[in-house]
Amino acid sequence: MTTIRDVARRAKVSITTASYALNGVGSISDATRQRVLKAAEELNYHPNAFARHLKKVKTQTIGVFITGFGGAFWDEILEGIHEVMLTTEYDLVVCPRSRSERRILMYRQVDGAIVFDSDISDEIVLKLASRRFPIVVMDRLLQADFVAPVLLDNAQGVREAFQHFYDQGLHKMAFVSGDLNSFDNTERMQTFLDEARKFHLQPTLHYGAFTEISGYTVARRIIQSGDLPQAVFCANDQMAIGFLRAMQEHGLNAPEDIAVVGFDDILLSRCVQPTLSTVGASRQAWGASAIRQLIGFLEHETPLCLQRIPTRLVPRQSSTSKRKA
């Protein structure tokens, strides 16, 4: 059976891009869209569940409503979702932030939804969720009838990272925050501060935006102040990579001058020099767990429940070498 993965491979694009092209959503070029449609035609792939199921009450389609477009982070989550959906009769519609996204969601043009977009408010989720339209959220702790949060266990990985610093005698710490509206960021920051409080430590707080340039800017500001921490925890890997770049430009080394840990274990974290210590989780397992809950409810009314995906510290060069005396 031909799948969307086959179409994506044929068109030489990501699964995310293929889904956008096939469903007429997303900010992709006409050339890319036409290449995907041509690949689908050549492979005789027909993704339109609406036409196949007009005589049924259900559309046999799941909607995934996400913040971003492309990139390894989303691709790995969608890969996990897709792997599970291959074992079902459901199709997948991936919707980025757009008017089309809101229309599909607000008019319940799919059988159920996975939401990973902070622009879709709790109020909207609670208003739409019902027995006939269950919703799984991946970006907030929202529990109600017919709503299930499937979230990372942020606290576990952050505790391991804090202890990793503390056990090396690195007690002068800093935390670099991402978007303050992000649920994951809030949990990571609060856990780090709670752990520090247990040991009577007071980490300094700095504010970035989950981007490499924001981590770079924070690092430059810290370095220029002359008051260097011994260890820095960044709320994601992109900020941590930017932090390392600024250190290198100022002749500082990690971990000898400042130990650095990020969060997400993106592919680039293994390629930078020094390799980046980070907190990781299986994003494929995260996506798979979300869709399993949704399908379980749609097919068997298996009760929806809060689920946490395990996280773990992945120590690498940026935080584990011997420091200067």
Claim to verify: residue 212 and residue 292 sit in the same structural domain: no
Q: Tokens 């991402």: give the residue.
A: 178
Q: Measured at the alpha carbon of residue 160, what is the angle toward residues 158 and 161, in degrees to the nearest 5?
A: 65
Residue 45: pLDDT over 90? no
Cα Rg of the chain, angstroms: 22
- Assign residue 254 the CATH number of its domain: 3.40.50.2300
**Cα 166 vs. chain centroid, distance in angstroms?**
27
Q: Is the pLDDT of residue 162 over 80?
A: yes
Which residue, 280, 296, 318, sits at the end of a domain?
Answer: 280
Q: How many CA atoms lie within 13 A of 161 on its CB side?
A: 39
User: Taking a C-beta distance cutoff of 8 angstroms, is the pair 21, 29 a contact?
Assistant: no
**Can you tell me the distance from the alpha carbon of 105 to that of 219, in angstroms, rounded to the nearest whole number?**
40
pLDDT tens sequence across 190-233: 999 999 999 999 999 999 999 999 999 999 999 999 999 999 99
Considering the domain architecture, whether residues 140 and 111 belong to the same structural domain is answered as yes
First to last CA, the chain: 62
pLDDT over 60 (residue 55): no
E-strand spans in 159-203? Answer: 173-177
| Residue 325 maps to a domain | no
- Establish if 324 belongs to a structural domain: no
Instruction: Kindly give, in sequence order, each residue whose CB lies less than 8 Å from that of residue 16, ignoring residues fewer than 6 positions away.
Output: 69, 70, 74, 75, 78, 94
Token pair listed for 322:
């011997």
Distance CA 22, CA 67 (A): 19
The answer to whether residues 137 and 162 belong to one domain is: no
Domain range for 173? 154-280
Q: At 216, phi and psi to the nearest 5?
A: -60, -45
Total domains in the fold of the chain: 2
Residues 226, 173 share a domain: yes
pLDDT at 53: 42
Amino acid at 87: T
In this prediction, residues 239-258 reach a mean pLDDT of 98
**Which residues, at least 6 apart from 139, have a Cβ–Cβ distance to it below 8 Å?**
67, 115, 116, 117, 118, 151, 182, 183, 184
**pLDDT, mean of residues 68-91:** 87
317 domain-assigned: no
Mark whether 143 and 23 lie in a shared domain: yes
What are the backbone angles phi and psi of residue 60, rounded to the nearest 5°?
Answer: 60, 35
Q: What is the pLDDT of residues 10-43, one digit of tens each?
A: 999 988 888 878 776 666 887 898 898 889 878 8
pLDDT for residue 46: 64
**Angle, vertex CA 160, rays to CA 200 and CA 314, nearest 5:** 145
State mean pLDDT over 235-243: 97
10 and 90: one domain?
yes
- pLDDT for residue 85: 94
Please state the rounded mean pLDDT for residues 125-134: 93
- Say how far apart CA 15 and CA 7 lie, in whole Å: 8
Q: What is the mean pLDDT of the chain?
A: 90
Judgement on whether residues 128 and 262 belong to the same structural domain of the protein: no
208 and 301 share one domain: no
Task: Tell me the CA distances in angstroms from 114 to 10, 55, 76, 289, 324, one per residue in order.
Answer: 27, 25, 15, 11, 48
pTM: 0.79
Confidence of residue 155 (pLDDT cuts 50, 70, 90): very high
- Structure letter (DSSP) for residue 275: P
194 shares a domain with 256: yes
pLDDT at site 322: 60
Task: Say yes or no: 170 and 301 in one domain.
Answer: no
Mean pLDDT of 66-86: 85
Q: What is the mean pLDDT of residues 288-307?
A: 96
Q: What does each C-alpha distance from 324 to 73, 93, 168, 258 come to in angstroms? A: 35, 53, 12, 10
